[in-house]
Chains A and B, each alone.
Chain A
Amino acid sequence: MVSFILRRILVSILILVAASFLMYVMVGYSAQPLQDLQGSNSPNKQELINARVARLDLDVAPPLRWVLWISGVAKCAIPFANACDLGSTISNAQVVDILPNALAATVQLVTFALVLAILLGVTIGIITALRQYSGLDNTMTFVSFFLYSLPAFLVAVLLKEFIAIGFNDFLRDPVIGGLALVVIGLIVGAIWQSLLGGDAKRRLVVFLVSGLATSGVLLVMSATGWFMRPGLGAIPIIVLVAAIALGSATLLAGLRNRRAFITAGINAVIAIVAYLTLQPLFDVSSAGTLFILAVATAAVGLLSGFLAGGFDRGQNMRVGLVTALLSGAVVLLDRFMQSWGDLLTATNGRPIATVGSKTPGLSGDVWLAGLDTFAHLTLPTIALLLISFAGYTRYSRAGMLEVLSLDYIRTARAKGLPERTVIVRHAFRNMLIPLTTLVAFDVGALLGGAIITEKVFAIPGMGSLFNAGLDRGDLNPVMGYFLVVAAMAITFNFLADMAYAGLDPRVRIR
């Protein structure tokens, strides 16, 4: 095992070095770092060219310059020496200094997009697999193909034009018109009925109930000016938390498991009590507080499940954990919504942003800052996740279908296990195995896609660094970008292999 990991790391480093040579030479020969000076009519043009040539060693041929560069990079391997030298940009900024900021912006974006794409993609993939050849399945198949064929920048531009500007314009006078209400109701009703399925009568009931409920809620929200002062309020939170408890217990443990229901119930009660009592604490919270609260929530969930025990502790702990985290999320969501008014004031009533990742000069508590980040990153994240969402849907649908056709599932069904158990406990885990491979690859694709998303949304991340560097013929930041992206791609591949080995007992590492 250890020798495998060491060998793997060594090979990865060699590959990285070789690939960096390839990249360096290609960029080096294609770049024109002197272009802006050569075309200038400045009287001291030659001195300026000389200064830049001297600063960046441009007189050295790219393959040789790579040697200089890689020896600077090699210093990064010296622990604690802080001797990393990735070269400097044309503007004399050390690449080592500008990378962290750019990296943080991109990692934030890519992480959100990746997690959401997996959650949404896998969920929809499973649902469509379970409703194979239904209207929903066919629609989703077409939608995922469509998304697959959509250029990323097209999505990004459309999101900006329609969602950001459209929603902000809507906020100026947040009233939903009658026609819009009907259309939204129809769409939501159609989605729910195809999700829940059943015979014609059931579908019709589901369609009507969900459609009317949606329209009704929107009507109330629009009439009460909810969009200007959003929040959930005590009663909706209690209802939501109860629904979460019920849902997670049912889904993860089944209707008959009393202990699971006790666990979920305890967590729901705690969440509601916490909601009612912790508001003063929330008002003075920092990000650290929220982190501790999240850890505590998870611990409470696990502990309650453990203590409720029974023959299947693990299952109860899962129920507890899911209930606690989701209820906690609802409580937090409510608190975040309470800061909406502040954000509206700070942004002149136009909260959804089209550029950057934060409002300049905004100083507020963690809630306002969080909401501001949300308002800035939602659209880029959507634009980015659509790239990989389709892949996950297709993969997990196909994976689920394959798993469901296997013998052991038939056995499980034959021995009378409820369908819920078969899918959640037997099929789900095995379906995930091939997905690990996709995740590893997807990280590379998302990092590439971020180049476009960051350009459209003016986010100063790795992609912008690369793009600006390549445009200007500035080799070092491009190489800094390459190093990070390549290292991440290699690392995720490695992790995927590990996860693969961990999930699939048939595989062992040599």
Chain B
Amino acid sequence: MSTPTGLGPVPPEMPADELAVANSVPESQGRLIWRRFVGNKVAVASVIILLAIIVFSFSAIGLGPIPGWWKYGYKELNPQANGGNPTLSVLPQFLGGNGISLGDHPFGQDRIGKDYFAMTMRGIQNSALVMVVLGLIATVLGVVVGAIAGYYRGIVDAILMRVTDIFIVIPALVIGSVVGNWFGSLGAPVLAIMLGFFSWMGIARLVRGEFLSLREREFVEAARVAGASDMRIIFKHILPNAAGVVIVSATLIMASAILLETALSYLGYGIRSPDVSLGLLISSNQSAFQTRPWLFWWPGLFIVSLALLVNFIGDGLRDAFDPRHRRFKLSKMRETRPEPELETAP
């Protein structure tokens, strides 16, 4: 199902000139994709905002021993000022850029006086960390497993895919809870790595599908005749052609990673105090919903923003790689189900 069904009619969404380019000069594929992506205003804006938020969060409170420009740390206890209310008096333009100077605790303070702005920034850092680490590990593992299975086919494929099935049977949140319950207290990086080890199955499926079809193409045959090793064929010849699938699903895995971490923290299986994650902030301040709503809304705002931005980027990438909307990849990464053993009748 994931293989293209051949040249279809020109869909209405694709401008005719782009199609012409696509068909004429194969070398410019990368540039073409880049141009299409850059043409997508929403996606480009999303990239910019996402990077801005992440850079902002890292610069604000620093990372590890490196201090940031914000005066409080996320673990520091401060005396309760202003009754813990946010001191941000002007609604920030977009990122809080001009609101920061307006007070000691722009986002308020939590119950024991920690600065909520610093905590929210730490939460963003951790979400970003989980997103990137989980996404990378899942992608690398998925690509390796999928590539080997798709390239070698036969018994290797059968074994690897059955192993994939075993992992896939457990819903993401369930396995995430178990992993989180086990490793959550070891800190965000460990948690992200461990979650990554259990999130690669969707990509493996997709990559395998791509490899199964790509390995039959002439250029692979040519490389093989030229004496290229299997590894070289897999990584130098086939993989670049499957890059679209990989990049798009990696992005979407990252979006779901944010939500997964959030949900786990909410259930108490994610990042643990004194470290901070956005989900944990919401979870531990849920009772403050009516009394001190800012404790609830700030992390909520950033969770939704991060996930939304990454989803927009994913959508933009998908459009760029495959402007015909041939495959509905938005949900592809979620589509972690055994491939039907079906064949297409001739």
Contacts and interface: CB of A to CB of B under 8 A. Distances in A.
Given A149-B259, A154-B300, A405 B331 contact: no
Given A482-B170, A485-B171, A508 B345 contact: yes
A151 B331 contact: no
Interface string B164-184: 011101111111011101100
A445 B90 CA distance: 40
A399 B328 contact: yes
A153 interface: yes
Contact of A471 (B171, B268, B308, B341): B268
Contacts of A485: 170-171, 174
Interface in B130-163: 162
A332 B337 CA distance: 39
Contacts of A410: 9
User: Which of B178, B312, B336 counts the most chain A CB atoms within 10 A?
Assistant: B178
Interface stretch (A98-106, A377-385, A434-442): A434-442
B267 A493 contact: no
User: Which of B8, B170, B179, B343 counts the most chain A CB atoms within 10 A?
Assistant: B170
A19 interface: yes
A111 B171 CA distance: 17
Interface in B320-345: 325-326, 328, 330-331, 334-338, 340-345
A490 interface: yes
Given A18-B166, A151-B303, A406-B9, A145 B315 contact: yes
Interface in A107-158: 145-146, 148-154, 157
Nearest to A394: B330
User: Which of B279, B300, B338 counts the most chain A CB atoms within 10 A?
Assistant: B338
**Interface class of chain B by DSSP:** helix
Contact of A448 (B11, B172, B282, B342): B172
Interface string A199-226: 0000000000000000000000000000
Contacts of A369: none
A401 interface: yes
Interface residues of B, number: 61
A509 interface: yes
Contacts of B337: 437, 440-441, 444, 489, 493, 496
User: Which of B269, B282, B325, B342 counts the most chain A CB atoms within 10 A?
Assistant: B342
A93 interface: no
Interface residues of A, number: 71
Given A15-B162, A407-B9, A452-B263, A153 B171 contact: no
B311 A149 contact: yes
B334 A391 contact: yes
A455 interface: yes
A19 B169 contact: yes
A293 B13 CA distance: 49
B328 A19 contact: no
Interface string B270-313: 00000000010011001001100000000010011011100110
Contact of A150 (B1, B179, B269, B304): B304
A395 B331 contact: yes
Interface string A489-510: 1100100110011000011111
**Interface class of chain A by DSSP:** helix
A31 B109 CA distance: 34
Contact of A466 (B9, B174, B182): B174
B171 A145 contact: no
A14 B158 CA distance: 14
Nearest to B162: A15
A135 B177 CA distance: 40
26 contacts: A11-B165, A14-B162, A15-B162, A18-B166, A22-B166, A145-B315, A150-B304, A150-B307, A151-B300, A153-B263, A394-B330, A394-B331, A398-B330, A402-B326, A405-B8, A406-B9, A407-B9, A410-B9, A434-B328, A441-B335, A448-B172, A451-B267, A452-B173, A466-B174, A486-B169, A497-B342
Given A30-B181, A398-B328, A405-B9, 15 more contacts: A23-B170, A148-B311, A149-B303, A149-B304, A151-B263, A406-B8, A407-B9, A410-B9, A438-B335, A470-B177, A481-B174, A482-B170, A496-B337, A501-B342, A510-B343
Interface of B: 1, 8-9, 11-13, 162, 165-167, 169-175, 177-179, 181-182, 255, 259, 262-263, 266-269, 279, 282-283, 286, 289-290, 300, 303-304, 306-308, 311-312, 315, 325-326, 328, 330-331, 334-338, 340-345
